Every structure is written in structure tokens, then in C-alpha cells.
Structure 1
Amino acid sequence: MAVKGGSFTRLGVNYGTLGDDLPSAARSVALLKSLGARAVKIYDANPAILRALAGTGLRVSIMVPNEIVPSLGANASLADAWVANNLAPFYPAVRVRYLLVGNEILSYASLANSTWHFLVPAMANIHRALRARSVRDVKVGTTLAMDALATAFPPSAGAFRADIAGPVMRPLLHFLSKTRSYYFVDAYPYLAWASNPSSIRLDYALFAANSFLSYIDPESNLTYTNLLDQMCDAVVAAMGRLGFGDVPIAVAETGWPNAGDPNQIGANVHNAATYNRNLARRMAVRPAAGTPARPGAAMPVFVFSLYNEDRKPGPGTERHWGLLSPDGKQVYEVDLSGRRPLESYPPLPLPETDEPYNGKIWCVLDAEGKAAANTTAVGAALAYACGQGTGTCDAIRPGGPCYQPNTLVTHAS
């Protein structure tokens, strides 16, 4: 079945702000347009960003923070107040098209008791608040990571996790179907490939134009030529198992990191540029290519992300998904409209991290930088680790080869 999701548009971009000294909102909007983006997704309802987006024609997605989802689900008047304070002052000058309630809420087991059961009621209350203001062109949804699925391979076997399938996903899909909204999935072929590089070809994950690789699903007999299509169709199959095979899909986040830690395979400028350039070309095809399970289906797609955000915690890749560095310069050239021929781009640096890293890795304590560690907490952790009697700390005990200099920084490192 070909599911039509509205007129197909060019790629959008996720605009996060967890970085130091990022360009102003006005400058960021200008940069978005210079990249060829036609849409932008932000992770809140930042008034400065929304003011900068007014009158630009960019299609905008705004987000309700996870922490207030329970209150919006429990109290319709609070949902109405949120819409009144965060959307109404900017609409319709800002072309808000999607209002996303929460970000990957079902990925956090810690929110299971406090938040999961409020997700759909919060979405319903937000939807009613929009309708009360005669706002009918803003779709309400929520973003879900691929870990909402218990099974994703082969695509035809896609199924939601048992803990959410009945209590959360069925009412969620019913809401999306009734309101003609989208299932917003965060789909990262990089993460799937990097977790199993020996079984998945890199060029298959990168939409490589010179790749003749394909995978035939043994149950559906559908042929796949790239990993993103597989991931999307696994979601299609999972929705179909619950009786909602007609809900359209939007890709809320996808992309490829341009750098990472030494042991993070494939995170480099060459692969990031290749992925996003090929994605842009693919998304520009008319009529829309769709996926094997939904040929011709149009879907919104948002690249992650606008900037390398240096304040994001976690491994190195977390701070290197950007199309731009924090000073606004392109990490690599890319035309998100998809019109630029691939052969017109300048040569990319050779990929140097496409094989597993076999060297040694050292941890070094940062006691002075912007992300300085809490030395009191580190000292307590060091004392605990060295008190386990395993010999781990023999080298830094008095007389050991690494005892001097006798400081917390050197011992913890």
C-alpha cells in the first residue's frame, strides 16, 4: 500500500543549542536557509528562535519538554496554557507544522511509571487546545527511537517492545491515525552499522551510489538497497501488527557523525558528508521514492544536526553530528536541496576510522576545563575503586611506578 503523506518537501534540520558561543538565532536561521533547508525542528519553543523564524517561510517543528508531559496529560487547562504561551504568540507568522510532545520518552525506563501513561493524554490535550484556537494545520506527534521496537530485522518482522505495545503504542497509533498525524522516528543507520560493522556493509548504510548491494526480506520478498529504508519499514511492520498500517512516517532525526572517540568506528567527515549528500539527493527525487513497503510515500525528514554541540554529554560522537561548527562554518559542503550534482563537490578527506580501533585508550581527568570534573566525587570514586583488593591501583600506591606525582589528577588519569 502506498501511503501518501502530503506534498514532499526538501530536507529539514534539527537545530539544537547545547553548544558554547553558537551563532545568534537570526544568524542560525540565515545559515539554515543557505544550506538549502526548507524546514527546521527545535527542541523546545524558544521564543528568540521562533521570532527569528517569523516570516521566513521555513516549516517549523516545536517540542514540549519531557518533564512537563505528565502535567499536560493530567490537566487539559495546563495544555491549553502551554499552547497559549508558546505557540499562539508566534503563529501563523511562524509556519509551525508539527508540535512534538516529548522526545524519545519511551526510551527511558526511569519514566515508565511517571510519564509513559501520560504521553497520549498530553498529546490529546494539546490537540484539543489547538482545535479550540481553530489551528488545523499543526500536527501533533512525539518522537520515538528505534529502541521502541523489540525486533527490527528482517524489516517484515518489526514489532514493538512488549512493555509498550499494548499500554502505550496502541492508543498512540490510534491517536495518530485519527488525527492524520505522523509516527516520528529517530533512525540512525550509523548506530546500526557501528554496532555490527562485520555484518552490514558501510556503503549500504551510506546510500553509496556505486553500491550494488541489496537485501531481500525473506518474508515480504521486498528488495532493500539501503539501511534507512530497512529501519523505516521495520516501523511500518510493527504498526501493521497493531492494526495501524496506514499511519505515515516522518524521520525526526537521522544523520552521521563527523568525528568521535578513537574507538568509534566510521565517525569521520568523509562518511558524514557522503551520507547527508546522498540522503539529500534521494529526498529530492520526484515523485517521492518512498520505501519498499511504501513506494511513493512522501515523508518529512530532518537531518541531525545544525551544529556540533560541544556541551552534549557522552561519547565523542555526541558532539560531532553537526553540518556546521560552532562558529557557523561548514564542516563539509552539502546542499540539502539535493540539486547539486555529487561530482561537483570538492574531494573529501580519506576516511581513517572505518576499521575497528585496536590501540589503547587512556582516560584523562579534566580538572580545569569547561567540563571540569567534580574532584570531590572523583576522589571518592578513586578511593572506592582502590579499596576493592583487586590490584587495580597497585601502580599508584606509595612505591609504585605511577605514584609520583602524587596528585588526584594524575592518579585518576
Structure 2
Amino acid sequence: MLASILSTKVLFRKPGVKRCNIDSLSWPPDPYYTSGLGVLDLVTLLLYVRPWIVIFAIGIGADCRIGSFVGINIGTDISNLPSAVEIVAILRAHSITHVRLFDADARMLNALSNTGIEVMVSVTNEEVTTIGESPSAAADWINKNVAAYVPTTNITAIAVGSEVLTSLPNASAVIVPAMNYLNKALVASNLNYLVKVSTPHSMGIISRPFPPSTATFNATWNSTIYQILQFLKNTNSFYMLNAYPYYEYVKSNGIFPLEYALFKPLPSVKQIVDPNTLFHYSSMFDALVDAAYNSIAALNFSGIPIVVTETGWPWSAGANEPDATAENAETYNKNLIRRVANDTGPPSQPAIPINTYIYELFNEDKRVGPESGRNWGVLFTNGTAVYDIKLSTSESLDANSSVVFCIARPGADETSLQDGLNWACGPGQANCGPIQQGQPCYMPNTLQNHASYAYNDYYQKMRSSGGTCDFRGTGTTTTVDPILEIHCNMPYNLYQYLFFLFVPKPRLWIMQIYRKSEFEHRGGLFPPPAFGPIGPSSGSPQNLVHLGTVFALFAALILSGPCGTHCSIMVN
């Protein structure tokens, strides 16, 4: 029986996630894979005791998902707002895997349970002052709006207010205390390794974002922003940026061409080049993100990734906003999704992809102000699209690449293959982090597999701009999605969903202990797929203590009672 278990192949497929195998689990554990697979191998000895351990064991590994995500903002200032259940059905119909709520509505959080959709909840601007003045109010908010729903609802982040520094300047004194109190409440609930705290900022806090290399924060807020950045650094969180090329284009009064704001190619005479770095900016979106990165660097911080919490384009407006058209909105959002799906960062941070949330799901017709402010939605409330758009990065990549993959040619000369791999990972700028020793896709350690991974990563990014799959004759294209026999493991959000869908809530303790071990020894994991490969786990005694605790809890759980009836998985 054990032999059959060890030869089982478990294959999952999820929108936005590359195919992954756990094939021919073996004993003893692979000595080269230290980020969780050893735990997986050990647990296989217990699989015949409790089938649900398969689900947890898969989750223990590192992530396989290679690439950023595009999420959606869900506003509710709508006359005919669908029910929460209807909204979630629309999200699932459009393969939307990440959402940002502007509050922590109980109906939405309940409807999102057991869906696997990653949720960013928000503290409203009206709540910021109360929470920033009272640790008990922060604890109550966490207990009511986060702890009560995790783990069945996949809450991964809390946005504290929205553009507080520019919209509520009087609240600047309490924004940092509010973030600290909320994080301390998460720590008290053992949720701080699963849920991150940050606050969205507008571009208005950056003085002169062009050229990006000289961008700095407005000195008026430097003290507060410094404290915010210190908090983000200390908690391994991320900087939330609301970046709207539409507004920057309108404000420029013709200085920047419309094509630049819409991600359209520019003729050489119109290309935007930073005179200090000579970086070429093919889109205003990239320039805005880089302006934020350089502003952060100007305060002597680094290693804080940026997530774009709002961006989009209005599709209707008054006569004074002629560029707010459905055609331009479709062009912007389609090109945005393709841009994010390329899994690269802006010129100054090419290795850090840009996770992004489109503003917004539906038009908010009850909003006051200009007509354009009521027409940012990409869907009507019945779920049909305002214009033709696919809201999945994986669908965008597939469409952009015509479902063609690049792999190493079988039987290719190894010297030439190594040269091709070196070029792809070097001048070709392929993301080769996941195939480094200790990373999720390192095993099996064969030149063929590593080259195929690097070739395809390069090809998918560069094909639209002339990149080929030749590699001096060592590459070849295929229309069959290659499932490389490598230890690429499940993405965190999916294993969290699968594990907790079938397992009682107290078993959250196991994940907390293991996540804490990874967080401390690998530099943090939120969110794993978004910010590139993570270094191998430390082999320190402290790490072994954490893993020993995991096994002790495993033993207790094995004896705790029957698995129940919801423990089957698909195998082939």
C-alpha cells in the first residue's frame, strides 16, 4: 500500500497557476530541496493513516505560481448592487482570483468563504481615527472582520484607509498607530504571518514624478511616510500605490502622448527616456511605479515591494474629458493585464513583478462629482462585460502567445544547451530564480528541464517584441503545455483553501508554526508568487525546532479522530 502511495501523481490545475506535479514521492528526502519538500516526503509515510494529510503535505511546499496577478476593486456605491452571493458568482465566472473590498462587509466575506479568492479588506477612512487612538478598538476590528472569517475566507491583506495623507491630512497623526495596533492584534491572533497590513497612497504624495529617477515624497509628509516605510519593512509588508495614468495624462496637457498612457508602442522620436538613468519607459504606468520606488529609495529604504491597489480608465465622461471612451478603457485594461502577466517589474526593479488591482468591477453610479468618476467599471451588474476583456492574467498570456511554448530541443548538444541557458538567464533576462538550487523548480536537476524553463520564460515575455525560440538550434516550439517533471509546488492561496476546507479550524496552529519558520529564515512570504524567488531555508537548529513542533502536532492530529467524508483528491 505504501508503495502505491509513493508512486501517486497528484495534479492540480487552477487559473493563473502553472501546472505542477508531485510525482513519484521518494524516500529518503531530497537533500537539495530544503524549502519544505523534506517535510512532504516524511509525511508520505503517514498517508495511509489519514488521507487529508495529502492536502496539507502539498501545501507545505514552496509556491509554483510564477507570475503576478491582476485583481479587482469592488465598490458598492451602486443603485442596483447585486447580492454578495451574486457578486461572488460573477467573480468566479470571470476567473477573478484577487479582490479588494473598500470595507469588511460581512455578507461579502461570508460569500467569499471556501472560494480560494484572495481578499484584501479595508479599514474605512471613518474608522482610522478610532483605531489609531485605541488598541482595543483595533483588536475588536481584527476579531470581528478578520479572525472571525479566516481561514475559510482567504483574507491576506488589510488596507488601512484610502489615500489618508492626501484626503484626510488631519488623520496623518493616527495612521501609523492604527497600522501598528492592527498588526499587534493580528500577532495576538496568530495571523500576522497570513495577513499583512498597509495603507494605499495616491501619486499626490510624490513631488514631480517625472523623471522617475528624481522623484521624492512631498517633504510635508516625510516624517509620517518614513514611519510607514519602517513599519512595512519590519512586518515584511508592501507599499500600496494608487496609480492612474489617465489622470496624469490629463494633467500633462499634451506633454505626454495618449499612446504612452495606453501602453501603445511609441515611435522612436516620442519614446520616453529618463535622462539620468537612460531607462526607456514604454508606458506611463511603469514610470509611475518607478517614481514610487525611487521616492522610497530617497528615504533610504529598499526591499519594499509595490502593489498597485488601484488603476484603470473611465469609459464614459462629459464633453470636457474626450479621452474617457470605451475604446480607450478597453485598450488600457487589456494592455495592463498583458503588462502585468509579463511577470517583470519597472525598469529600476525588473525582478519585482507588479501585482495590480483594476478599478473597478462595476460602475458606481451614486458617486458624486464628474461623470467620469461614475464610469470605471469593467462589468455591468448582470455580469456582462462593458467591453471585450479577459480578467485573468493566464488567459491574457495564452492569448498573447497563441498557446505556443518554447522548450529545449530533445537531444540537443549539452554544450550548446548550456550556452543557451546561460544566455536566457543572463542577457535574455529570463526569470531563472525558481530553477536555482533550493528553489521550487530546481528538481529534477537536469539541463534539459532547466533550459526548457528558462527558454519558455524568455519566449513568453519577448515573443511579442521579436523574441524567438531558436537559441542557436537548441530550442523548439510546441503547442502542448509542457508539464515538466519538477518539484513545483502548490501556491499558498490554493493550499490554504484546500487544507482549511477539509480540516477543523484549530489546525491553523500547524500552518502558523511552519509559516513562522519560513518567514524568519527565508525573509518573509507575502505574497510568495508576486515578488520573485525566495532563498533556501536555513538549516539552523531553530528551524529544526519549528519542524519538530510541526511533527508533534501532526502526531496529535492523527490521533484526534476520523478525517471525515471530504478527504478525496483527484489522482491520475
The bucket for the TM-score relative to the shorter chain is 0.7 to 0.9
Summarize deviations over 1:43-72 as a string: whole Å, max 9, x none: 000000111110111111000011221221
CA shift at 1:231, angstroms?
0.4
Q: 1:282 to 1:304 in 2, by over 3 A?
A: same
Is structure 2 residue 237 aligned with structure 1 residue 178? no
CA distance in 2, matches of 1:274, 1:86: 37
Aligned to 2:121, the other structure's residue is in SS state strand
CA distance in 2, matches of 1:139, 1:182: 8
> Residue 250 of structure 1 corresponds to which residue in structure 2?
307
Contact residue 65 and residue 101 of structure 1 kept, 8 A:
yes
Instruction: Give the partner amino acid of 1:67.
Output: E
> Residue 331 of structure 1 corresponds to which residue in structure 2?
386
Which protein has the bigger helix share?
A: 2
Is structure 2 residue 126 aligned with structure 1 residue 71? no
CA distance in 2, matches of 1:11, 1:211: 28
**Superposition pairs for residues 204-215 of structure 1, below 5 Å?**
204-208=260-264, 214-215=271-272
Contact residue 214 and residue 226 of structure 1 kept, 8 A:
no
> Residue 158 of structure 2 corresponds to which residue in structure 1?
99
Instruction: Give the partner amino acid of 2:159.
Output: L
Consecutive unaligned residues of structure 1, counting only runs of 5 or more, are 1-5, 345-413
> Residue 164 of structure 1 corresponds to which residue in structure 2?
221
Runs of 4+ in 1 over 6 A off after TM superposition: none
> Residue 54 of structure 2 corresponds to which residue in structure 1?
none
Is structure 2 residue 117 aligned with structure 1 residue 62? no
Consecutive unaligned residues of structure 2, counting only runs of 5 or more, are 1-64, 403-572
Partner residue of 1:188 out of 244, 266, 281:
244
CA distance in 2, matches of 1:73, 1:231: 30
> Residue 304 of structure 1 corresponds to which residue in structure 2?
359
Identity of aligned residues (%): 35
> Residue 238 of structure 1 corresponds to which residue in structure 2?
295
> Residue 16 of structure 1 corresponds to which residue in structure 2?
75
Give the TM-score taking structure 1 as reference length.
0.78
Summarize deviations over 1:151-180 as a string: whole Å, max 9, x none: 2111011111121012x1000000001111
CA distance in 1, matches of 2:281, 2:385: 32
Contact residue 340 and residue 354 of structure 2 kept, 8 A:
no
> Residue 390 of structure 1 corresponds to which residue in structure 2?
none
Partner residue of 1:120 out of 176, 194, 198:
176
CA distance in 2, matches of 1:197, 1:28: 38
Summarize deviations over 1:40-99 as a string: whole Å, max 9, x none: 000000000111110111111000011221221221111001101111111111111110
Give the TM-score taking structure 2 as reference length.
0.56
Summarize deviations over 1:129-170 as a string: whole Å, max 9, x none: 00111111111000000001122111011111121012x100
CA distance in 1, matches of 2:103, 2:163: 14
Partner residue of 1:221 out of 278, 283, 289:
278
Instruction: Give the partner amino acid of 1:251.
Output: V
CA distance in 1, matches of 2:114, 2:124: 25
CA shift at 1:237, angstroms?
0.8
CA shift at 1:205, angstroms?
0.8
CA shift at 1:35, angstroms?
2.4
CA distance in 1, matches of 2:67, 2:157: 15
CA distance in 2, matches of 1:219, 1:210: 20
Aligned to 2:328, the other structure's residue is in SS state helix
CA distance in 2, matches of 1:7, 1:28: 28
How many pairs does the alignment contain? Answer: 333
CA distance in 2, matches of 1:85, 1:336: 31
CA shift at 1:197, angstroms?
4.4
> Residue 209 of structure 2 corresponds to which residue in structure 1?
152
Aligned to 1:87, the other structure's residue is in SS state helix
CA distance in 1, matches of 2:327, 2:178: 42
Instruction: Give the partner amino acid of 1:277.
Output: K
> Residue 267 of structure 1 corresponds to which residue in structure 2?
324
Aligned to 2:199, the other structure's residue is in SS state strand
CA shift at 1:7, angstroms?
5.8
Of 204-213 and 86-95, deviating more is: 204-213
Q: 1:309 to 1:260 in 2, by over 3 A?
A: same
Cα RMSD (Å): 1.8
CA shift at 1:315, angstroms?
0.2
Aligned to 1:14, the other structure's residue is in SS state strand
Q: 1:174 to 1:186 in 2, by over 3 A?
A: same
CA shift at 1:297, angstroms?
0.5
CA distance in 2, matches of 1:25, 1:279: 27
Instruction: Give the partner amino acid of 1:234.
Output: A
CA distance in 1, matches of 2:146, 2:190: 13
CA distance in 2, matches of 1:157, 1:245: 16
Instruction: Give the partner amino acid of 1:328.
Output: G
CA distance in 2, matches of 1:7, 1:69: 35
CA shift at 1:342, angstroms?
6.4
Aligned to 1:99, the other structure's residue is in SS state strand
Partner residue of 1:50 out of 100, 109, 114:
109
CA shift at 1:298, angstroms?
2.3
Instruction: Give the partner amino acid of 1:205.
Output: A
CA distance in 2, matches of 1:100, 1:181: 11
CA distance in 2, matches of 1:211, 1:324: 33
Contact residue 260 and residue 266 of structure 2 kept, 8 A:
no
CA distance in 2, matches of 1:192, 1:304: 16
Partner residue of 1:295 out of 350, 358, 362:
350
Is structure 2 residue 126 aligned with structure 1 residue 90? no
